[in-house]
Structure 1
């Protein structure tokens, strides 16, 4: 293959459609690998800090502006660079050493968090300064997101990759439980500034873990040489590869319409059930608990991964969301949201695993950056759309449309893949 710098070849393994999640390996099999264990520990610490920062930024925004609309603007600003530049960020990851690039993004993130800490501590923060910092963090995430996803495949072999992704999802959801709760305690006692300071420290943990990786034990991938039209080549590669195109289509539909729980759940709990903010907190907690349970299930999964299994995952997840949206009472909805949270992790970890197994090494950065654009960047358009649907057709419709979207795209891909197999 021309234009490619080849690294060490990986051992031959079955195709992704034939690969399970570890055969007789235990639920935490990937953690026996030292490099991955260091990475998982650092990332989990960082996610706790990041969620503390997210909660504190929201609180600080409301203190500065007293406006829910401007809170949405601040949140959207952080995702805007990913939406506009995500594919280019993936190309940069494909061209460069992933560990070094990720170390650089973590240093940049630590500096940005430190600036946030100092400006908040000095009580000189303004909305324009906050927007500028959110934009800078978003630009860093353009490279950080695909680098984090791609590095996992360099830390473990392909046999351990599905388990490693599931373990990562489980740890991230556990951190999502800890981070907001810890942020609430810290803000109530000391204000927002310590949250920003703790987030700064959390990035140090990631940087140390990356520097401690043993490069001789890693699985280096092919790196793309500089050439014209490489972003178009990445898009064309996905378009002509059904094992990537179909999962990507599901990710884009669900990322834009289904994964808008910060919008749909407040509407459901407040307007739909007439409850207060505590009910929204309970709903998010139920989602997170379900996510942890779903992560453990994914870690022990034995069935083969493929487009059809991912499609069924989307269908089941969508049906559970619809059931929660139509629940007759809040307690019933909260119970169903535990299963919704479990389904979300099952779908997301399966989609990431399938795409990382199917993508050729020198395209992996671009593939995962395009995944990030759909799963995260879609919020820029999806959140206002879901909010408008809830305002026009009632609070339950905001959650219901997400469930119908997930189930609908799952059924569509099932029908298309069945037709392809019949040809």
Structure 2
């Protein structure tokens, strides 16, 4: 009997993927530092834009400079992740994030920061994300047994949401005594911590023989996605929130400043409320490995999120908005974890980095919603813009679910993926049964 076969209860079950797994523990610790730094950077950059240049449209432009590199470079990052040592890839890009964050800190502290500086530095950071995040995501499934994969993804996402509790509140509180520049220095320290933990990760090289060119690898990932109706449906489910629902995150500084007038501390508390809900949701979903009808669960949580977002957009009370943010964090955490786990379960290791990078490309679609949302908010205000986005989100979610029958039998597809990958891992390293460079064999 292996460790993963031992029945676990209570907190042991909640943290089962960390038990006895030194490599994943270091990755998990690094993820905390990474997400903490990222959340602080996102909060501080938005607050800097609103308070220094007072232009909601600038928020959309800045989002575009962050999203476009991820849209263009994420698939390349996935190919690189499948071909190189993931530890070295993560370490190199993490160091680049330390450099970009340090640069912004210096520009702010010396009082020479201009908006064009942000427009130049932000895409450099986004480029690092495009290579760093696929490597981190792919490494989780390599370091953790598949029967504990949902738990590992739940904990990783819970760590992200834990950072959303502490980091935004801390950023908002620190702005008053030490300024945005000082808070950026702390964000830089978080990135440096994540880089340090990466040193302790084991080497992770590709298992398959690299007999294909870079471009063939690039195309192979898309061929594999196109061959699977279930995978296509899951990726579409991950894309819709980015386009229609997530622009509300871009506009949160506008809500905090112009709608409820709560300042930087109130803005941080809003983000922390969402993170608190997400953290609770993370611990709940970490125990849902055996829950059936995961496709229906995804649909239900998506619809609830859309309804909550609509009410949030029109709420005249800050206190109600905080409760709604917490509830949205809970249901979005559930949706995201089930979706991410399903994707990880149905794909083989040989294309994992490329498929996860395509999933990350969805963040590159954010300008499709964020830029027009920012421009519209400058003219008519943020509340009606977010309300319309919530309605479009619900409609498109229902359409995708109805048009993708395989989502309704998601558990069967995940179980087949588990069995297929178990057999694949038992095969010789140079044998990739059922796969011809990202294309399923007949």
Which of the residues 219, 239, 244 maps onto 2:226? 239
Paired with 2:118 and 2:183, the residues of 1 have a C-alpha distance of: 15
Shift in alpha-carbon separation, 1:223–1:81, aligned structure 2, 3 A: farther
Equivalent residues of 2:57, 2:377 under 8 A apart: no
Tell me what 1:249 maps to: 236
Shift in alpha-carbon separation, 1:27–1:222, aligned structure 2, 3 A: farther
Tell me what 1:277 maps to: 262
- Corresponding pairs, count: 398
1:313-324, aligned counterparts within 5 Å? 313-324=301-312
1:272-311, aligned counterparts within 5 Å? 275-277=260-262, 282-301=269-288, 302-304=290-292, 306-311=294-299
Q: CA deviation at 1:354?
A: 0.9
Residues 41-89 of structure 1, C-alpha deviation per residue, up to 9 Å, x if partnerless? Answer: 1221232223333333334445654444334323331222112222222
Q: CA deviation at 1:332?
A: 4.3
Which range is displaced more, 68-77 or 337-346? 68-77
Shift in alpha-carbon separation, 1:387–1:117, aligned structure 2, 3 A: closer
Shift in alpha-carbon separation, 1:407–1:198, aligned structure 2, 3 A: same
Tell me what 2:348 maps to: 360
Tell me what 1:38 maps to: 26
Q: CA deviation at 1:277?
A: 3.3
Q: CA deviation at 1:175?
A: 0.8
2:128 matches 1:140: yes
Q: CA deviation at 1:247?
A: 0.9
Residues 303-358 of structure 1, C-alpha deviation per residue, up to 9 Å, x if partnerless? Answer: 14754443333233334334545668654454333221111111111111111111
Shift in alpha-carbon separation, 1:71–1:312, aligned structure 2, 3 A: closer
Equivalent residues of 1:94, 1:224 under 8 A apart: no
Q: TM-score, normalised by structure 2?
A: 0.79
Shift in alpha-carbon separation, 1:232–1:203, aligned structure 2, 3 A: same
Equivalent residues of 2:87, 2:202 under 8 A apart: no
Tell me what 2:394 maps to: 407
Q: CA deviation at 1:287?
A: 1.9
Specify the SS of the correspondent of 1:276.
coil
Paired with 1:120 and 1:360, the residues of 2 have a C-alpha distance of: 45
Residues 233-291 of structure 1, C-alpha deviation per residue, up to 9 Å, x if partnerless? Answer: 322321220221101111111111012222465666777xx532356555433322211
Tell me what 1:230 maps to: 217
Equivalent residues of 1:56, 1:183 under 8 A apart: yes
Equivalent residues of 2:306, 2:390 under 8 A apart: yes
2:370 matches 1:383: yes
Q: Give the aligned CA root-mean-square deviation in angstroms.
A: 3.3
1:106-145, aligned counterparts within 5 Å? 106-145=94-133
Shift in alpha-carbon separation, 1:191–1:326, aligned structure 2, 3 A: closer
Paired with 2:246 and 2:207, the residues of 1 have a C-alpha distance of: 31
Paired with 1:328 and 1:185, the residues of 2 have a C-alpha distance of: 24
Which range is displaced more, 241-250 or 37-46? 37-46
Shift in alpha-carbon separation, 1:201–1:329, aligned structure 2, 3 A: closer
Equivalent residues of 2:44, 2:184 under 8 A apart: yes
Which range is displaced more, 390-399 or 329-338? 390-399
Shift in alpha-carbon separation, 1:221–1:350, aligned structure 2, 3 A: farther
Q: TM-score, normalised by structure 1?
A: 0.82
Shift in alpha-carbon separation, 1:329–1:136, aligned structure 2, 3 A: closer
Structure 1 unmatched ranges of 5 or more: 1-10, 14-21
Tell me what 2:183 maps to: 195
2:69 matches 1:86: no
Which of the residues 331, 335, 338 maps onto 2:326? 338
Q: CA deviation at 1:141?
A: 1.6
Q: CA deviation at 1:387?
A: 4.5
Paired with 1:224 and 1:176, the residues of 2 have a C-alpha distance of: 39
Equivalent residues of 1:265, 1:399 under 8 A apart: no
Tell me what 1:6 maps to: none
Equivalent residues of 1:154, 1:221 under 8 A apart: no
Q: CA deviation at 1:232?
A: 3.1
Structure 2 unmatched ranges of 5 or more: 410-442
Shift in alpha-carbon separation, 1:70–1:395, aligned structure 2, 3 A: closer
